[in-house]
Amino acid sequence: MWSDNETDIDLLGFQHLVSTVCSIVRDDSLLPATIGVFGDWGSGKSSLLQMVRTELEKDGNTLVLSFNGWLFEGYEDAKSALMGTIIDEIVAQRSVLTTVTDKARGIAVRLIKKLQVFRVLSVATKGSLAYFLGGLPAASIAVAPDAAELLQQLTSGFEDLSDKAQEVTVDDMSKFLKSDKAQNVRRTIREFRADFADLLKETKIKRLVVLIDDLDRCMPDTIIETLEAIKLFLFVPQTAFILGADERLVRYAVRRRFPELPGERAEVGRDYLEKLVQFPVRVPPLGRAEMETYINLLFTSKALSKPEEFEAARQCVVNCSPSSLLEVRFNHGIAEKVLARQLPQELSEALALAQRIAPILASGLLGNPRQCKRFLNTLVMRHEMARSRNIELKQRVLAKLMLLEYFKPESFKVLAELQAVQNGRPKEFTVAEMEGTKQPAKTEEGSKEKTRTQGNAREASITEATHKEIPAWLRDPWVKEWIAMEPPLGQEDLRPYFFFSRDTLGPLAGAVQRMSPQAQEILAELAHESEAVRLNAQKKAGGLSPADAAAIFESLADRARQEDESDDESSALAQLCLWTIERPELVAQALTFLNTFPEDQLPIWIITKVKTFSVPGEDKTSIRLLLQKWSNSSNARIKAAATTHLKNL
């Protein structure tokens, strides 16, 4: 398996992005600068930052530091954490290279003291009024360093505070603290920036580069505080800050802090970032060819025991000719040429597998390498678990089933139920394969060709009616394409595959866990008590990848099954229907889910919602079959409504 910490995009030769970032940093006329390395969740931003660090550390007198605000969240305010970490690292790392002068140490001490004052000031201006009046915040101020000195400064405008405390009104104290806070903050910022610039000169640092990773994992307030610390305190000559983040989440944090004024059309989040980030560098998603190349290299790194062989494979990709940038740059044929030998059987099978699954993963995951790696890790994990019990699963069959599990979870559940009661070989699936191919099928080994109706007693029992009434989940265009993929599954015993897929691990470790941060945020908003928030979340459906959209659908379906009441418009069932309307490719999944939903729990409005579903080619067969089933329901209201709407369909 592969670690999330392992570099990703360097496998694909995205060296031009590294060169772009480094060229900005090395151009003194462009400093100080803030560079934003933007990309979706899991797009490889961390890998790019690591590659930038490796390249810049080759430069003399360039100090490269890393900061991860997510690690400090909840323990310290972001401004103090960032500034304190940078000062500590400058002194520590320069001490390793050269002797730090007394003057430099003196400057560092002054900076630390100012930082402590700033910390106390931040707390004191929030709680000092309660302190004077005997409130609880006094404890948090009293334990802060230099608190007594700062409080003395804050109260210097009053003579004999102990005698006059009773005479001070709340309004008087509030006005005093407000004016004093502004004065102290302005002075602190000016002095800190001046001392910070002096520290860089005294330690002979030609350039200071600070890499800030995982910014999009932080809470909105932490994101804004980090950005403010850069601009207010640390933006001095010869500095460069490189931010790795999902741009959408940073914009969301800005909107939370600075909501737009009524009637204003300006996009606050975009404008804020444009002023702060001078050089945006965006990590592109992987296309189909790049996804296949990426998967091939991952499998190659696992299969080859000699590091030099894998490095030769990687260099083949990195140093490819410009004319082949949009092509698969490493596959079975190229691998044999590079390695100059016959490939191990395991690697040959893996490269063949990559060719089949790469197109679906590229489109379904919107080129996200981290989600691709998680898919492959689960594939390898299940395969190895089966081997540990002396069960040999065919990797291609397992991968094909996992694609259905990942992108069409409701269809996967139906297939699981069908194979469980039909000894692992559901007849409905065989019919769908026949309808999709209309030609003789090859066995897995390819040794013989035979039709799926000749010499097969099980298929002889399939009636003509079954051919005409293929279930809704098998009419889904995506599922039809999936069925046509190699290898065919009609002759496979699916029981061991489902044992290791769902009975042991669950649906790919759970829908929520495999969602992107944006999808998790939307899912939370769909459960919000405010109707406006829920409707706004529904409008965001179009911006998600098919995998994220399917994962949200699965989460809503699980919630709907557990609900006691589904009549309310805020119910998970209602949100599921609205989500399906926004994402028409999920119609077959919704019909499949509703077909198994307890009819006595169905609300009356479900009939109208189902009729509004947009189906491919306006083929209403699946909707008609569901309404026919409901027209025979024991639920009188559902029966009457379904019968009426069926006549008008």
The residue ranking higher by pLDDT, 7 or 270, is: 270
Q: In angstroms, rounded to a whole number, what is the distance separating the alpha carbons of residues 76 and 82?
A: 10
What is the tens place of the pLDDT at every residue in 188-225? 678 888 888 998 888 888 899 999 988 877 888 888 88
pLDDT band, residue 145 (cuts 50/70/90): very low
Does residue 19 lie within any of the structural domains?
no
Asked whether residue 377 falls in the same domain as residue 394, the answer is: yes
How many Cβ atoms from other residues are within 10 Å of residue 286's Cβ?
A: 27
**Mean pLDDT value across residues 528-547:** 90
**Taking Cα atoms as reference points, which of 584, 588, 585, 580 lies closest to residue 473?**
588
- pLDDT reported for residue 620: 77
With beta carbons less than 8 A apart as the criterion, state whether 49 and 241 touch.
no
293 domain-assigned: yes
Tell me which long-range contacts 620-628 makes (C-beta under 8 A, separation of at least 24). 620/649, 621/475, 622/472, 622/475, 622/587, 622/588, 622/591, 623/591, 623/649, 624/649, 625/469, 625/472, 626/472, 626/591, 626/594, 626/595
pLDDT at 7 over 90: no
Residue 35 pLDDT > 90:
yes
**E strand or H helix at 554:** helix 546-562
Considering the domain boundaries, does residue 22 fall inside one?
A: no
- Domain endpoint, select from 284, 300, 331: 284
Residues 522 and 614 in one domain: yes
Determine the Cα–Cα distance for residues 9 and 99; give it in Å rounded to an integer.
38
The two structure tokens encoding residue 355: 């060719």
Q: Choose the final residue of a domain: 503, 528, 545.
A: 503
Mean pLDDT throughout 442-460?
43
Residue 452: inside a domain, yes or no? no
User: In this predicted model, what pLDDT tens digit does every residue of 607-635 receive, in sequence order?
Assistant: 988 888 876 655 678 888 888 889 988 88
Q: Has residue 91 been placed in a domain?
A: no
* 548-566 b/e (C-beta count within 10 Å ≥ 16 → b): bbbbbbbbbbebbeeeeeb
Q: How confident is the model at residue 4 (pLDDT cuts 50, 70, 90)?
A: low
pLDDT of 574 reads 93
Weakest-pLDDT range from 140-154, 200-214, 459-473, 577-591 = 140-154
Instruction: Provide the phi-psi class of 280: left if phi over 0, else alpha when psi is between -120 and 50, else beta.
Output: beta
Q: Answer yes or no: do 381 and 499 share one domain.
A: yes
The two three-digit tokens of residue 290, written as one number: 């790049």
487-500 per-position pLDDT tens digit? 888 889 999 998 88
- Of 98-107, 137-146, 431-440, least confident by mean pLDDT is 137-146
pLDDT at 306 over 50: yes
Residue 83 lies in a domain: no
Residue 346: pLDDT band by 50, 70, 90 thresholds? confident
Among candidate residues 156, 175, 202, the one where a domain is terminated: 202
Cβ–Cβ < 8 Å for 103, 142: no
Of the candidates 214, 258, 242, 310, the residue with the CA atom closest to the CA atom of residue 62: 242
CA distance 10 to 13: 5
The position carrying tokens 């930038």 is 52
Using omega within 30 degrees of 0 as the cis cutoff, is the peptide bond preceding 32 cis? yes
Per the structure, the count of domains in the chain is 4
Domain that holds residue 344: 288-427+470-503
Inside any domain, residue 251: yes
Asked, as a colleague might, if the bond just before 284 is cis with ω within 30 of 0, I would say no
**Residue 126: band (very low, low, confident or very high) from pLDDT cuts 50, 70, 90:** very low
pLDDT above 70 (res 381): yes
Does 643 lie in the same domain as 620?
Answer: yes
Residue 103 or 44, more confident: 103
Q: What average pLDDT does range 377-400 have in this prediction?
A: 90
Query: Same domain, yes or no, for 598 and 577?
Result: yes
Which tens digits make up the pLDDT trace of 408-429? Answer: 888 888 888 888 888 898 888 7
Average pLDDT on 554-563 reads 89
Q: Using 50, 70 and 90 to split pLDDT, how confident is the model at 316? A: confident
3-state DSSP of 492-536? CCCHHHHHHHHHCCCCCCCCHHHCCHHHHHHHHHHCCCCHHHHHH
Burial class (CB in 10 A: 0-12, 13-18, 19+), 478: buried
Domain co-membership, 318 together with 420: yes
Q: What is the pLDDT of residues 155-174, one digit of tens each?
A: 333 333 233 333 434 444 34
What percent of the chain shows pLDDT beyond 90? 15
556 with 616, same domain? yes
298 and 364 in a single domain? The answer is yes
Has residue 459 got a pLDDT over 60? no
Q: Does 496 fall in a domain?
A: yes
Q: Is the pTM of this model over 0.75?
A: no
**What's the confidence (pLDDT) of residue 157?**
35
The pLDDT of residue 573: 94
Tokens standing for residue 478: 């995506």
Same domain, 564 and 540: yes
Between residues 135 and 311, which one has the greater pLDDT?
Answer: 311
Kindly report the CATH number assigned to the domain that includes residue 225.
Answer: 3.40.50.300
Q: Which of 107-111, 292-296, 449-453 has the highest mean pLDDT?
A: 292-296
Distance CA 649, CA 611 (A): 8
Position 400 scores a pLDDT of 92
Residues 361 and 499 placed together within one structural domain of the fold? yes
pLDDT band at 443 (very low <50, low <70, confident <90, very high): very low
What mean pLDDT is reported for the chain? 77
As a whole-number percent, the residues of the chain with pLDDT over 70 amount to 74
Q: What is the mean pLDDT of residues 498-510?
A: 59
- Report whether pLDDT(178) > 90: no
Same structural domain, 305 and 414: yes
Q: Rounded to an integer, what distance in angstroms lies between the CA atom of residue 209 and that of residue 238?
A: 9
Per-residue pLDDT tens for 284-304? 888 888 888 888 888 898 888
Both 403 and 418 in one domain: the answer is yes
Report whether 587 contacts 549 (CB < 8 A): no
pLDDT tens-place string over residues 46-71: 888 888 998 999 988 889 999 887 77
